[in-house]
Amino acid sequence: MKKERKIQDNDHLYNFLRYYVDLAIKLSYRNVRYVGREKIPQDGAIIYAPNHTNALMDALVLLAMDRKPKVFVARADIFRNRKLAKILTWLKIMPIMRIRDGYDEVKKNNETFEKAVDVLRDKIPFCIFPEGTHQAKYSSLPLSKGIFRIAFQAQEMMPDMPLYIVPVGVRYGNFFRFRSTVRVQIGDPINVGEFIAAHSDLTTAEQMNTIKEELTTRMQETIFYIPNDENYDAIYEICAAVVKQQVRRMGAVSGASRPHPLDLHFEANNITVKQIADLQQSDPQRAARLIELGNQASVMRKSQQISLASVSVKFPVLSRILKILFALVALPYCLPVSVLTLPIKLVCNFIFTKLRDYAFRNSVRFMLNLLLWPLLMIVYSAVAYALLPWQWALPVTLALLPAPIVAHETWRLLRLGVSDCRLLADSKLRAIYREIREIILTK
């Protein structure tokens, strides 16, 4: 009798394709940064608990952290199509029901929980997004209890194996832009067995609530966290307005040692959020003025289609000059390859019109580039070799390989150059940013 294949079993085709997908992830971002990987325990089973802000990209970025296999869960409704369900299972993704699916449906999670325990018993990292859904914000959502039910059940069935819940913070420079930046921070793990033993005086339900609070705190420590309330947009705007000055201050304090730019931005933004919270306690009137300015800046900037990158750039004048120079130099290459990559853009735009959730756009764009660009390369290479001698066809083919990235970077810099000019022309908006900086930086 043939042995039933488990979702965590090794698959050579899957392993081979992962090299391509991992490479594509790293090319899809200008900067990919993993922090705290030394905190990942090596002596037991692991449940990763990342925040969820960017649909499929969150899972792919976490998958690319190392070469180890990982098993994920996703909402059960996307498994209703049998063919798609087979593909998802091959991709090492399991279904999980949510409360919104109804209590009767949630009962079906028992099978998922059992498979998850089996995955952990084999010491394959298991990944579940404990927020249950995604939101494109630098904040957090309440955690669902599914991750803790799996953890408690697994620990009970594996009393001799340490089990850890490892918080993970994924922070994107921009949720919706191709070739943005991404920073992944590993938080302090929670040893589930030790936690249960330390809280043995509590009921299981009380233990779950307590560990839920602990994981919430540890997850928020790994992300750029802004409270998700009516002041969110204002605080986000304020952070962008002062980030380059905060980074400069931090550089002066650190002296010779120079942390990674993404680490500096992460710390600078969290410092600003804390400063705003402190100001709300110590000087409510001044804090109210700051929030008012942040809201005004946010509304004005968006109406003028000015990018936050224009607000937070470190050397504005030099940046504008370099953007224009690069765009001019790259334009002779960018124009023809933009035409050649147009089929991907058209398909993207068509699918975007069907999407209700804006956060899925980057995932769609990534998947289409992943699947369609190799096919287009085959077509363009065949045409090149058919029309040109091979001595010309070969360099043409090689020159086309980075086309989607170079084309996007050129248009991105042109777009940012236009944004910079709009900000330069808006003296009222720049005055608001100056007042914001005065309040924060003289606190």
Predicted pLDDT at 359: 83
One-letter amino acid of 60 = L
DSSP SS3 for 355 = coil
DSSP category for residue 98: -
Predicted pLDDT at 111: 76
Smallest Cα–Cα separation from 221: which of 66, 35, 41?
Answer: 35
Residues 309-352: tens digit of each pLDDT: 899 876 667 777 777 788 788 888 888 988 999 999 999 999 99
Strand stretches in 14-162, DSSP E: 31-35, 45-50, 71-75, 93-96, 126-127
Predicted pLDDT at 413: 84
- The pLDDT of residue 133 is above 90: no
How large is the average pLDDT for residues 251-263? 72
Residue 20 CA: distances (Å) to CA of 23, 60, 86, 110: 5, 12, 21, 34
Structure tokens, 87: 């593909």
- CA 84 to chain CA centroid, Å, is 24
Predicted pLDDT at 191: 96
Predicted pLDDT at 72: 92
Q: Are 154 and 46 in contact (CB under 8 A)?
A: no
How large is the average pLDDT for residues 284-306? 96
Predicted pLDDT at 380: 94
Residues 1-11: tens digit of each pLDDT: 456 788 888 88
For residue 16, what pLDDT band results from cuts at 50, 70 and 90?
very high
- The pLDDT of residue 438 is above 90: yes
- Which structural domains are found in the chain, ordered by start? 12-221 (3.40.1130.10), 232-304+431-441 (no CATH), 316-425 (no CATH)
Collect all residues with Cβ–Cβ distance below 8 Å to 32 and sequence separation of at least 6. Answer: 25, 26, 61, 64, 181, 182, 184
Residues of 263-296 as b/e, b for ≥16 C-beta within 10 angstroms?
ebbbebbbbbbebbeebeeeeeeebeebbebbbb
For residue 379, what pLDDT band results from cuts at 50, 70 and 90?
very high
Q: Are 81 and 199 in contact (CB under 8 A)?
A: no
If one compares 234 and 404, the residue with the highest pLDDT of the two is 234
CA distance 221 to 216: 9
Label residue 34 exposed, middle or buried (CB < 10 Å: 0-12, 13-18, 19+). Answer: middle
Smallest Cα–Cα separation from 123: which of 188, 58, 196, 47?
Answer: 47
- The pLDDT of residue 254 is above 60: no
Collect all residues with Cβ–Cβ distance below 8 Å to 17 and sequence separation of at least 6. Answer: none
CA distance 322 to 330: 12
Structure tokens, 35: 């922090």
Radius of gyration of the chain, Cα coordinates, nearest whole angstrom: 24
Q: Are 381 and 441 in contact (CB under 8 A)?
A: no
Q: Are 50 and 40 in contact (CB under 8 A)?
A: no
